[in-house]
Amino acid sequence: MATEHLDEERLEEEQPEHHTSAEAAEKFLATLRDAEFDYACRCQS
């Protein structure tokens, strides 16, 4: 029972980190898309 509780605590501690990295990845992909769009617009003109 005690080990289960420790596992739960560890999961809760790891959760925010995972959430943050997911957000960072999303921001990175959005930046990538913006750069791609910007590049495509420049190439067309």
**Would the CA dihedral through 21, 25, 26, 27 be positive or negative?**
positive
pLDDT digits (tens, 9 = 90+) for 9-39: 655 665 555 568 889 999 999 999 999 988 8
Mean predicted confidence (pLDDT) in 5-11: 61
Query: In terms of residue numbers, what domain contains 31?
Result: 1-45
CB burial of residue 42 (10 Å; 0-12, 13-18, 19+) = exposed
CA–CA distance, 44 with 17 (Å, rounded to integer): 41
More confident residue, 6 or 41: 41
In this predicted structure, the answer to whether residue 1 has a pLDDT above a threshold of 90 is: no
Contacts for 19 with CB less than 8 Å, ≥ 6 apart: none
The pLDDT assigned to 20 comes to: 80
pTM: 0.46
* Structural domain total, the chain: 1
What pLDDT is attached to residue 42? 85
Side-chain half-sphere CA neighbours of 34 within 13 A = 6
